[in-house]
């Protein structure tokens, strides 16, 4: 919400492009065609969102640059920003196709719009510099969530100095929060980040690779980037939200309950990512794979 406010102030434009199945928090304008819990409950938006607010959000298809280009052309000079999860993780894990993120960078540059990476999930998980380090694409603004507070409640957005100079008290864009910069949260975040050594990332990658290989089976596919993983009950990994919705959600529900009964608690939705952490040692991976085979 705050990042979009900055984008609108910087460009003098109102419209925003997001992707079908992308979840960027529960601000009214971002609940249009959201993934995550809204997708699980088959809710395309939310009651109480004004039609005039929803109309400010344009919907593109993830991994389809032509759908973005068409919107930017149709609404030329009206789009403030394109906001995207650089690795979609609220329709299950859906990886960006080669050239997709670089293509977004080029299209937004041409249209005079800002590119916003929502790295609430990917920030620090896939690399110390997030997905933008992994893929070598620099957005104008980056959004981060509670991962920077060691899991405690905090959020942040950052970007170019000229954009952040628009934020109060330096500029006219209002920003406030009762818990902003809370010292206990910041201390927890610093402690967590200090634990993220190259060896820790390497260990998570190795265990993630073993989990990915062990979960593969007939009629199923696994998508993984670093510590993010989803087991899809679909023979082929989806490339967008429409394909993700073709998964056998009933089979996933049966699998979830079976795993829970065997002592393995998974995200209870086909459209949510699994998070592998440093706490998941080889014993935990072995137990997960053993439960999945039973």
Alpha-carbon 163 to chain mean position: 22
CA 219/CA 198 separation, integer angstroms: 35
Closest CA to 76 of 117, 108, 33, 100: 108
Concerning whether 146 is annotated as a catalytic residue, the answer is yes
State the catalytic residue, choosing from 18, 62, 118, 135. 118
Separation of first and last alpha carbons in the chain:
44
CA 211/CA 221 separation, integer angstroms: 12
Concerning whether 23 is annotated as a catalytic residue, the answer is yes
CA 248/CA 218 separation, integer angstroms: 13
Concerning whether 201 is annotated as a catalytic residue, the answer is no
Q: Could you list the beta-strand ranges (E) of 55-212.
A: 57-60, 79-84, 114-118, 141-144, 156-159
Closest CA to 88 of 47, 16, 45, 33: 33
State the catalytic residue, choosing from 18, 23, 135, 157. 23
Contact 269, 39 (CB under 8 A): yes
Contact 25, 146 (CB under 8 A): no
Encoded tokens for 37: 């819990």
Query: Any alpha helices (H) in 12-98, and if so which ranges?
Result: 36-40, 51-54, 65-74
Question: Which residues neighbour 269 within 8 Å (Cβ) at sequence distance 6 or greater?
Answer: 36, 37, 39, 40
Contact 49, 28 (CB under 8 A): yes
Burial of residue 249 (number of CB atoms within 10 Å: 0-12, 13-18, 19+): middle
State the catalytic residue, choosing from 28, 64, 75, 146. 146
The catalytic site residues sit at 23, 118, 146
């Amino acid at each position: 919400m705050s990042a979009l406010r900055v984008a609108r102030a910087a460009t003098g434009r109102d419209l925003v492009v997001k992707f079908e199945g992308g979840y960027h928090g529960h601000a009214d304008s971002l609940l249009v065609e959201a993934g995550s819990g809204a997708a699980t409950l088959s809710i395309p938006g939310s009651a109480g969102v004004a039609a005039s607010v929803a109309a400010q959000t344009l919907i593109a298809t993830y991994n389809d640059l032509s759908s973005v280009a068409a919107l930017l052309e149709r609404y030329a000079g009206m789009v403030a920003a394109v906001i995207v999860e650089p690795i979609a993780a609220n329709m299950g894990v859906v990886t960006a196709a080669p050239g997709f993120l670089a293509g977004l960078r080029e299209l937004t540059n041409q249209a005079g719009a800002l590119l916003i990476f929502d790295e609430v999930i990917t920030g620090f998980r896939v690399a110390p510099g997030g997905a933008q380090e992994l893929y070598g694409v620099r957005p104008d603004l980056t959004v981060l969530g509670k991962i920077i507070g060691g899991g405690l409640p905090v959020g942040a957005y950052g970007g170019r100095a000229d954009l952040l100079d628009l934020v109060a008290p330096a500029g006219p864009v209002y920003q406030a929060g009762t818990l902003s910069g809370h010292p206990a949260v910041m201390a927890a975040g610093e402690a967590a980040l200090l634990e993220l050594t190259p060896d820790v990332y390497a260990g998570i990658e190795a265990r993630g690779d073993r989990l990915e290989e062990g979960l593969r089976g007939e009629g199923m596919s696994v998508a993984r980037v670093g510590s993010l993983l989803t087991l899809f009950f679909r023979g082929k990994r989806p490339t967008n939200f429409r394909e993700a919705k073709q998964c056998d959600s009933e089979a996933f529900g049966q699998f979830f309950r079976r795993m829970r009964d065997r002592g393995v608690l998974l995200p209870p939705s086909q459209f949510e990512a699994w998070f592998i952490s440093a706490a998941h040692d080889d014993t935990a991976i072995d137990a997960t794979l053993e439960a999945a085979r039973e």
